[in-house]
Amino acid sequence: MYGRKACQLVKEFATSEKEQLKTFNDDLFDQVIKECGSHNLGFQSLVRKMQDEGLDTQTARNGDFYGALIHHLSLVRNKRCLMAYMYNRAEVIRGLRWKLGRVLPEEIVKKLSNSEKDYLKGYSGALETYMNDMNLELTVDMVPPKDPYIKVRVLEDIGEVLLTDKSANLARHSMHFLKRTDAEPYISQGLMEELLS
C-alpha cells in the first residue's frame, strides 16, 4: 500500500523517547525515496498518456486522471513524512547542542546521518560565531548562579588547559574551584562533575 513505509518512518520517530535519537534509518528512508521516484514516473507516464490521447489533463476525469492523482497525492504524502522525520530529528539535534555543548558524545554522533552531522557542524558554527560576535556565552545556565565560581572534580584526565583567568592541570580525581563558564563545557561532556556542598 502506498505511503506505508513513510508512515513507519514517522511512527519510528514518534515512539522514541523525548529528546532522544534512534539511529538514522537509512534503509527505510532510502526505500521511501525510491517509492517517491516510482510515483513520479507513474504520474508522468499517465499524464503523458493523457496528453498523447489529446485529453485536457485539467478537465478529463477518466481512469488515467485518477491514477495520476493517486500517484501525486502519494508523492506529496511521502514528501511530508520525510520532511517531518528530518525536521523533528533536527529539532532534537539543536536541543542536544544547547544542552551538551559543541561536542556531542560519540554514542549520539553514531546515530546521525552524514547530512545531520553537517547540519550540526553548521548550526554549531553559526551559534559560535554569534556568541563570539556578541561576546556572550548563551549555553550557560539560564538562571543566574549565586556564585560565578563552582567546585568541581575531574572525572577523566583532561590535561593542562587555559581558562579565562588562569591555566590549570585538570588531572583525574583532582578538585578545582573554577568559573562556571570554564567548567560547563567539561561538565556537559561528562569529563568533570560539580560538587554540591
- Please list the pLDDT of the chain residue by residue as tens digits (197 residues): 677 899 999 999 888 888 889 999 999 999 999 999 999 999 899 888 888 887 776 777 788 888 888 999 999 999 999 999 999 999 999 999 988 888 888 999 999 999 999 999 999 999 999 988 988 877 766 666 677 889 999 999 999 998 888 888 999 999 999 988 888 888 888 899 998 86
Give the helix ranges, DSSP H, for 53-191.
Answer: 63-100, 106-109, 114-134, 180-188
Which segments of the chain belong to CATH 3.40.5? 149-194
Instruction: Report d(CA 34, CA 136) in Å as an integer.
Output: 45
Neighbours of 124 (CB within 10 A): 17
The CATH classification number of 4-134 equals 1.20.58.1030
| Residue 173 identity | H
96 within 8 A of 104, measured Cβ to Cβ: yes
Return the pLDDT at 73: 93
**Highest CATH level, class, for 149-194:** alpha beta
Give exposure, 157-185, as e/b (b: 16+ Cβ within 10 Å): ebeeeeeeeeebebeeeeebebbbbbbbb
Residue the block writes with cell 530529528: 89
Return the pLDDT at 143: 66
CA dist 117 to 61, 121, 146, 177, Å? 47, 6, 36, 35
Q: Which residues contact 160 (CB under 8 A, 6 or more apart)?
A: 167, 168, 169, 170
CA dist 51 to 48, 55, 68, 72, 93, Å? 5, 6, 12, 17, 46
The pTM (predicted TM-score) of the whole model is 0.71
Which segments of the chain belong to CATH 1.20.58.1030? 4-134
